[in-house]
Structure 1
Amino acid sequence: MGESVAQHREKFSIESAWIRCFAALSALLVETWLVNSVLYPQVSMVIPEARDAASLVGVAGFVAFAVAASKRPSLLDERRLAIGSFAGYGTGLSLIAGGLLYGNPALVFAGACLRTLSTRWFVIQTGLALCNLGGRSCMLCIASSFVASYLLRIPFEMAGGVVSGAVLAAIPCVVFFLVRGLAGETLSYVRSGSPRSELSITQPETYVPFAHALFASFFVFRIAYGFALAFGSTEGNPHQTLFGLIPVALVCAMVFLPKMPKADMLFQAAALLVIAGFLVAVAFGGYRDGWPFHSVVNGLLYAGSECFEILMWFVLVSIGSRNKANSLVVFAWGRAACSAGLLAGVTIGHAVNGFDGAIAGSAAIAVVLFSFVAVNMTVFKNLGFQATIEGVRSEKALVVPARSESGLAEKSLCAAQCYALTKRETEILGMLARGRNASFVQEQLTVSRNTVKTHVANIYAKLGVHSQQELIDLVEQIETVRL
């Protein structure tokens, strides 16, 4: 009976977490749509540069969170971040409203930048909350949120600016109170985890490096979304389409299959949709003023970018759930890459809009298409999203067997001889076998961090291990190995 009650409570907890994450992500997606379709067109009428400046500030905000979580995770105080974000968001909207009312570009510019910067924490909170869901449940939650956001656009399209403004003001509060507890659980792992600089040396499988092709792919695909927003836009108003429901339907079908396909299937679908959109744009570049052209081109580009947006959320959250201590770094850096790509895409789209004549416009789009295909065939040729997810391991506390210094030194020396380690590598092996971290090695040997990283990588390669714990276990069993 007791076990049955415990199972019921656990099931209720999981269902509650799913519903809260679904509602929060749906609200964030609606907020993004309202900003692009309602707020920014009005802002652009007063000062067009505010949109791009706000996007750039948003990128800087995500980068700042990634760096802080990487270097000093203990500085991430949830209460202070929430207070600062709410204050900044409210002030930003007030400045925008005042600037629009009095036609003051400076107020609108400052308000747009401050509002965007203040939303970064709410986006990160939602990502941290989603880390508490499982693979299939997480994918279903993300796909369902996209469906809900599309359905919610219908009443807002008929509502006035006052209603949209009120909803924009309320969404951060809704998101915060929905995911605060769930995000707090994940944030506790982030704050108590080892510094990223340490893990990159002793436990390289627990993190994804900043230079990983995964983040580059986010940047490239968001260029397509930014291009779709700007291409053929009229006075800052992007052409909206319901083609984005195509990838949502695809994901929903995937989730309910007996065996859910790998995440790479979404990547392939996204790439095909984006390429198709660019091809149509090249073929009918002379008819940019026609509604069917806009509908098809923007529809395909939207569908491809939305497909990749779902994939991006799923990949970042899945990596974060496998190693919660590094979840904020991965999510913030991934979102920074997305925001930077969006800004680049919007810039390219506006530039293409400025070309006179069908030939010039088609040629510019052809260059963008060629670059997109070339990058996917070269840089992302060996990128596997599912493999990247499954390759991440959670951070584990080291277990060092109790043994005398002389006994451990003898085992370490024996291991060094068996695997032909150099003198310097033998010294470092002895320290690692005692559970010492990379900072300790760096201080003891008075060498740079990169030198320690190189030596540790060589030691791991020679011993055939992938983490410090595996190294400790191998040294402990070295006598058995020799026999």
Structure 2
Amino acid sequence: MEEKREAREVRHAAVRALVAYGALLCAVSLMNTAVFPLFDAVFMFARDVSVTCSAVAFLVMGALAWRAPHWLRPRHFLALTLGCLVGGGVLLAAGLTLASPVLLTIGASLVACGRACVTVTVGLVLATLSGWAAAAVIAAACSLQMIGAPWFSLLPPAVAVAAYLVLPLVALGLTAKRAVGFLRKGATQQPPADLAVTRPTSFLAPFSALFICLFLFQVAFGFALRFDEVAGAPRLSEASALPVVLVLAYVLVKRRPFSPDVLVSLSALAVIGGFLLATRTEPSVLWGDVTLLNAGNSLFAMTAQLALVAIAARNPLGAATVIAWGNGASSVGSLVGAAAGMVANGWVVADPQLRFAIPAALLLVFAGYVILGLRKFTFKAVIEGVAPVGEQQAAQAPEEVFQHRCEAVASRHGLTPREAEVFAMLARGRDRAYIEEALVVSRNTVKAHVKHIYAKLGIHSHQELIDLIESEAVG
């Protein structure tokens, strides 16, 4: 009986996560296809300001979760999210009704910030699911988004705006309760920035390779979103949903998560093919570029979300950080790419020949990054490289834990008290000039101590010394 109850709870959790994530993705599609075009008649730059605010909100949440998680206490965080969504929705609707640029811009920006907060709560809830369930939910939600997106522009404006404002509230209502656990846990523990000193393999730094990859991929997708847009809305194709639906079918039939790295490769192929077709003019390839670019975008979005969720699941203490920073990097990339697309649209108006030269140039840059930049990068390695950290370890003062590691290494290798002192400074990243000043000794004395320490530890560089401390922490 207990097993049946647990299985039922797991299914209900997966269904709630699916509805929440699907609602959030559909809200984003409504924003791009049906709501943003309405902004142009009032103040066309309101869309850009709101998207910028969303990216900033992600980065601020990531920074707070990394260095000062106590600022993200559940009650305050959820109240702020709800306030942004409701208050911003009222102002946005008033701005469109009264044709007020100020009200529209403020309202759209508040809604964007609220939606960013909901994105974090949804990601935290996805991290509570099993790997297979999370992959199935992500694939199903993306399929729903891809199938519905081409039809959203046909909705009456009032219906589209109402749905755009209500869907994030639905997602928040379905995820707030389960996300509270992550937020409360993070708010009562040491900041990840401090924990990373002694557990560097358990936390991803804000500028890790993963976040850089998310940023650069989204630059290409942001460009594709705005380049050659029609009436202020991106071009869409129903056929773009097919690869996403096939991934969903694979997950459901095989009952295991999809491979992030395989999906990234397929995404890269689709993007390269899309940009290649964008340089052609034959009727046979009409809208083929849109199909491939949108499909590539969705495949990569699924990969990115699965990677962030998997990392968050491995280390709940850093979950809010990685989800916020990952979405922030993607948002900034989309923003940069969209801005480049708008600039390129202006150039094409001045010189129609650039309509084909610009995609060709971007194709070359993107292919170069995939071939060279991702040569040693894999999502699987990043995910598996995150070592789980226990709450008992996290509750210890980071400085005490680090000092204990240094003392253990010094004792094991027979360092003298002075050598142990110098060793601890080197392990903290201090240079020789700092050690000279701190210990009030000469340069030659420090040099001699470092030489003896290296000899006793059997190392030859400062990096090897740091690696030794890291391996001690993992052990």
TM class by shorter chain equals 0.7 to 0.9
- For 2:149 and 2:362, the matched residues in 1 are separated by 30
Instruction: Specify the alignment match of 1:335 in structure 2.
Output: 327
Instruction: Classify the secondary structure of the residue corresponding to 2:254.
Output: coil
- For 2:256 and 2:129, the matched residues in 1 are separated by 18
Pick one of 284, 306, 310 that aligns with 1:314.
Answer: 306
Instruction: Specify the alignment match of 1:146 in structure 2.
Output: 142
- For 1:259 and 1:97, the matched residues in 2 are separated by 43
Pick one of 91, 103, 108 that aligns with 1:107.
Answer: 103
| Pair 1:467–1:190, CA change in 2 (3 A) | farther
| Pair 1:456–1:193, CA change in 2 (3 A) | farther
Deviation for aligned residue 1:458 = 4.4
| Pair 1:410–1:305, CA change in 2 (3 A) | closer
- For 1:467 and 1:195, the matched residues in 2 are separated by 21
- For 1:136 and 1:218, the matched residues in 2 are separated by 22
Instruction: Classify the secondary structure of the residue corresponding to 1:283.
Output: coil
Decide whether the 8 Å contact of 1:126 with 1:175 is kept in 2: yes
Instruction: Specify the alignment match of 2:5 in structure 1.
Output: 9
Pick one of 382, 386, 392 that aligns with 1:392.
Answer: 386
- For 2:407 and 2:99, the matched residues in 1 are separated by 78
Q: Equivalent pairs: percent with the same residue?
A: 26
Superimposed CA distance per residue, residues 353-405 of structure 1 (whole angstroms, 9 cap, x where no aligned partner): 221444322222222111111222222221110111111111123499xxxxx
Judge which range, 118-127 or 164-173, deviates more: 164-173
Deviation for aligned residue 1:409 = 11
Name the amino acid aligned to 1:303: A
Instruction: Classify the secondary structure of the residue corresponding to 1:383.
Output: coil
Instruction: Specify the alignment match of 2:367 in structure 1.
Output: 373
Name the amino acid aligned to 1:415: R
Q: How does 1:425-436 map to 2 (within 5 A)?
A: 426-427=423-424
The answer to whether 1:468 aligns with 2:470 is no
Name the amino acid aligned to 1:266: L
- For 1:266 and 1:410, the matched residues in 2 are separated by 45
- For 1:233 and 1:202, the matched residues in 2 are separated by 49
Decide whether the 8 Å contact of 2:42 with 2:96 is kept in 1: yes
Judge which range, 346-355 or 154-163, deviates more: 154-163
- For 1:411 and 1:55, the matched residues in 2 are separated by 50
Deviation for aligned residue 1:312 = 0.8
- Unmatched runs of 5 consecutive residues or more in structure 1: 401-407, 433-437, 448-454, 471-483
Decide whether the 8 Å contact of 1:28 with 1:123 is kept in 2: yes
The answer to whether 1:363 aligns with 2:368 is no
Deviation for aligned residue 1:106 = 2.1
- For 2:222 and 2:407, the matched residues in 1 are separated by 61
Instruction: Specify the alignment match of 1:44 in structure 2.
Output: 40
Decide whether the 8 Å contact of 1:92 with 1:113 is kept in 2: yes
Decide whether the 8 Å contact of 2:85 with 2:169 is kept in 1: no
Name the amino acid aligned to 1:370: L
| Pair 1:155–1:264, CA change in 2 (3 A) | closer
Decide whether the 8 Å contact of 2:226 with 2:338 is kept in 1: yes
- For 1:265 and 1:410, the matched residues in 2 are separated by 44
Pick one of 236, 240, 246 that aligns with 2:236.
Answer: 240
- For 1:161 and 1:427, the matched residues in 2 are separated by 64
- For 2:325 and 2:172, the matched residues in 1 are separated by 21
Decide whether the 8 Å contact of 1:131 with 1:318 is kept in 2: yes
Pick one of 271, 275, 278 that aligns with 1:278.
Answer: 275
Pick one of 285, 298, 306 that aligns with 2:290.
Answer: 298
| Pair 1:117–1:398, CA change in 2 (3 A) | closer
- For 2:279 and 2:177, the matched residues in 1 are separated by 49
Instruction: Specify the alignment match of 1:475 in structure 2.
Output: none
Judge which range, 14-23 or 356-365, deviates more: 356-365
Decide whether the 8 Å contact of 2:34 with 2:153 is kept in 1: no
| Pair 1:426–1:59, CA change in 2 (3 A) | same
Instruction: Specify the alignment match of 1:189 in structure 2.
Output: 185
| Pair 1:422–1:101, CA change in 2 (3 A) | same
Decide whether the 8 Å contact of 1:135 with 1:318 is kept in 2: yes
Decide whether the 8 Å contact of 1:201 with 1:457 is kept in 2: no
Q: How does 1:75-86 map to 2 (within 5 A)?
A: 75-86=71-82
Pick one of 377, 380, 383 that aligns with 2:377.
Answer: 383
| Pair 1:262–1:155, CA change in 2 (3 A) | closer
The answer to whether 1:325 aligns with 2:317 is yes
Name the amino acid aligned to 1:367: A
- Unmatched runs of 5 consecutive residues or more in structure 2: 397-404, 440-460
- Taking structure 2 as the reference length, the TM-score comes to 0.83
Instruction: Specify the alignment match of 1:435 in structure 2.
Output: none
| Pair 1:409–1:182, CA change in 2 (3 A) | closer
| Pair 1:365–1:64, CA change in 2 (3 A) | same
Instruction: Classify the secondary structure of the residue corresponding to 1:243.
Output: helix
Instruction: Specify the alignment match of 1:61 in structure 2.
Output: 57
- For 2:371 and 2:419, the matched residues in 1 are separated by 40
The answer to whether 1:345 aligns with 2:341 is no
Decide whether the 8 Å contact of 1:398 with 1:469 is kept in 2: no
Name the amino acid aligned to 1:197: A
Q: Aligned-residue CA RMSD in angstroms?
A: 3.1
Deviation for aligned residue 1:153 = 4.7
Decide whether the 8 Å contact of 1:273 with 1:300 is kept in 2: yes
Superimposed CA distance per residue, residues 16-55 of structure 1 (whole angstroms, 9 cap, x where no aligned partner): 1111100100000110111111110010222121111111
- For 2:54 and 2:116, the matched residues in 1 are separated by 7
Name the amino acid aligned to 2:473: Q
Deviation for aligned residue 1:224 = 2.7
